[in-house]
């Protein structure tokens, strides 16, 4: 490449860098939480902590409007890396069959308020028969992250809590969260939004032998932020311009 071509290429790179810098905000602003939660349950530990209860089936987001029963077909028996997408609705949506789609109202910059709605459902079996945790959300109560279910009869009920939680906000203003799942102290969202402040520990009909026994793991990863189309168009044009310049250089030689 001759001197003129090199100068043109260097100028193009500087222009591209400056252009993308203008498109990217100097300081990322937080926004409503997006992404996917991945949950894994260790049934050996879960059974130990609950006196024999196990999580048997996972029903993904395609079952959001379906009444969950012990005889419902179509779920997965794997309890590893279950995908619970973050809901995009900002108001809770009610469906027949006692189902709701929990809203996402939490801003990534303030996780002390609001909630993160999650799509997905589980079935459990134990001494009392079948139980169905569904219509999940993540929310903080007293500084502790809680995985909460909702039912029109029992309303908001804490299923599990996060221990060793790690949260951060990335350069795009999106929340990342991870932690171990335990039964914890059985903290209820609020007595005003729960029937008698019940938790899933109460439903199981046993005294949780070890509230701090890790029974699973949860990780929340943000949705990918797409690169603006203008950046790709500008970059393609720049590469084309450099190609033409290189062609001219070869012809001149």
pLDDT in tens, 12-60: 434 444 444 444 444 456 799 999 999 999 999 999 998 899 999 999 9
Assess contact for 36 and 86: CB atoms under 8 A. yes
Confidence of residue 6 (pLDDT cuts 50, 70, 90): very low
118 belongs to a structural domain: yes
85 located within any domain: yes
Q: Say if 234 falls within a structural domain.
A: no
Mean pLDDT of the chain: 80
Around Cβ 108, how many Cβ atoms within 10 Å?
25
Q: Is residue 157 part of a domain?
A: yes
Domain annotation covers residue 199:
yes
Query: Cβ–Cβ contacts within 10 Å for residue 24, how many?
Result: 12
Domain extent for 211: 36-221
**pLDDT score of 188:** 53
SS3 of the chain: CCHHHHHHHHHHHHHHHHHHHHHCCCCCCCCECCCEEEEEECHHHHHHHHCCCEEEEEECHHHCCCCCCCCCCCCECCCCCEEEEECCCCCCEEECCCEEECCCCCECCECCCCCEEEEEEEEEEECCEEECCEEEEEEEECCEEEEEEEECCCEEEEEEEEEEEEEEECCCCCEEEEEEEECCCCCCCCHHHECCCCEHHHHCCCCCCCCCCCCEEEEEECCCCCCCHHHHHHHHHHHHHHHHHHHHHHHHC
pLDDT score, position 66:
95
CA–CA separation, 79 vs 39, rounded Å? 8
pLDDT band at 208 (very low <50, low <70, confident <90, very high): low
Q: Domain count of the chain?
A: 1
- What per-residue confidence (pLDDT) applies to 198? 64
27 occurs within a structural domain? no
* pTM beyond 0.85, yes or no: no
**Could you report the per-residue pLDDT of 139-170, keeping only the tens digit for each?**
998 899 999 999 888 888 899 999 999 999 99
Q: What pLDDT was estimated at residue 146?
A: 94
């Amino acid at each position: 490449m001759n001197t003129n071509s090199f100068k043109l290429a260097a100028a193009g790179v500087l222009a591209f860098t400056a252009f993308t810098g203008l498109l990217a905000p100097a300081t990322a602003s937080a926004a409503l939480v997006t992404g996917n939660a991945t949950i894994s349950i260790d049934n050996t530990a879960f059974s130990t902590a609950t006196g024999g209860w196990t999580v048997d089936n996972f029903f993904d987001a395609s079952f959001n409007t379906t009444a969950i029963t012990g005889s419902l077909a179509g779920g997965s028996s794997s309890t590893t890396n279950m995908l619970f997408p973050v809901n995009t609705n900002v108001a809770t949506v009610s469906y027949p069959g006692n189902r709701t789609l929990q809203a996402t109202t939490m801003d990534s910059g303030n996780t002390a308020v609001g909630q993160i709605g999650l799509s997905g459902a589980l079935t459990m079996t134990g001494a009392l028969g079948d139980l169905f945790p569904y219509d999940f959300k993540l929310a903080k109560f007293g500084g502790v992250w809680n995985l909460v279910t909702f039912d029109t009869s029992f309303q908001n009920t804490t299923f599990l809590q996060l221990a060793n939680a790690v949260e951060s906000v990335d350069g795009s203003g999106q929340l990342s969260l991870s932690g171990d799942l335990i039964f914890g102290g059985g903290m209820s969202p609020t007595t005003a939004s729960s029937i008698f402040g019940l938790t899933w520990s109460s439903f199981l009909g046993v005294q949780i032998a070890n509230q701090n026994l890790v029974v699973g793991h949860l990780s929340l990863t943000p949705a990918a932020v797409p690169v603006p189309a203008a950046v790709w168009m500008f970059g393609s044009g720049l590469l084309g311009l450099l190609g033409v310049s290189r062609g001219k250089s070869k012809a001149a030689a």
